[in-house]
Amino acid sequence: MDPTSKKIKIVKPFALYKWAKNFKRIQDRFYGNQYKLRRIQQIEDFITLNNFNKVHHIEEVRIDLELSPKIFTNNISDTDLILVTHQGYSRYPCIGIIEQIQEWLKSCPKLYICLNRHYLNIDNSNLDMDLPDDFQKAITSWLQKSLKDCVVMDLSRNYVDYGQHFTWSLPDRHYYIVKK
């Protein structure tokens, strides 16, 4: 085709996609909605087996937990577990993630947080040469060093993520953090 005579309008790069909140549901359809993400089952089991009855869930992508709606509360001050699957917090600078975790722990001493490894240290502001070379171990070590007044338990599986682990449906690094 010959170059156009149409008017050309130049705009700043903008987000061309609008499916963020439904991302998991779209990926579920890749498999005809027949399967369940293991990490979602892990969260449900964690909540059920530990008898958490008042869960404050902070989410972005809808992960469709199959738990009784009765256990969820909007009141962050009256909860026995804060569950964070919203990957926006992984896009905070490292110091901001730590500050936010400490803030949540003021409301509730038990936190289950899912972090997207690919976003961490998004602004290149937090380099620590003393951390392990293995990125996954380094994430755990960074959290433990930064939250000395907490017990940080790594509940993640270790693997190299080549973009085929549904990380944008549900972030991959799972931590249970309890204030000492």
Partner 1 sequence: MKKLIEHFSDYPMVENDQHNYTRYRMGRLKHQLWLHNRKRDEIILDTHDKFILDNLKPGNTCVFGSAGYYFEEVIPNLTVIEQWPIVKKFYPKAQIIEDRCEIAETNGRMFDNFVVVNNRGDIWTELSVVEKHIANYVQSMKPGCLFFYSFRDTQIVNWNRLKVNHKEYFHNFGLHIEKTYNLNLLWHDIRFATKQKDGAGNYDIWENPDTTNGNIKFVFEYKSKTKNIN
Label residues 33-58 b or e (16+ Cβ within 10 Å = b): eeeebebbebbeebbeeeebeebbbe
CB of 151 to partner 1, least distance (A): 21
Write the interaction track for partner 1 spanning residues 54-93; mark x where CB under 8 A is met and - where it is not. ----------------------------------xx-xxx
CB of 64 to partner 1, least distance (A): 11
**Near partner 1 in 117-156, by CB under 8 A:** 117-129, 131, 133-135, 138-139, 142
DSSP class of residue 161 equals -
Query: Strand 81-84 relative to strand 110-115: parallel, antiparallel, unpaired?
Result: parallel
Burial of 102 (C-beta count, 10 Å sphere; 0-12/13-18/19+): middle
22, 25, 26, 80: which one contacts partner 1 (CB under 8 A)? 26
Counting residues that bind partner 1 (by CB under 8 A) gives 64
Cβ neighbors of 105 (< 8 A, separation 6 or more) are 111, 150, 177, 179
Q: Which is nearer to partner 1, 39 or 110 (CB)?
A: 39
110, 166, 171, 173: which one contacts partner 1 (CB under 8 A)? 166
Using CB under 8 A, list all residues that contact partner 1.
1-4, 6-17, 19, 26, 29-32, 34-39, 41, 88-89, 91-94, 96, 117-129, 131, 133-135, 138-139, 142, 157, 160-166
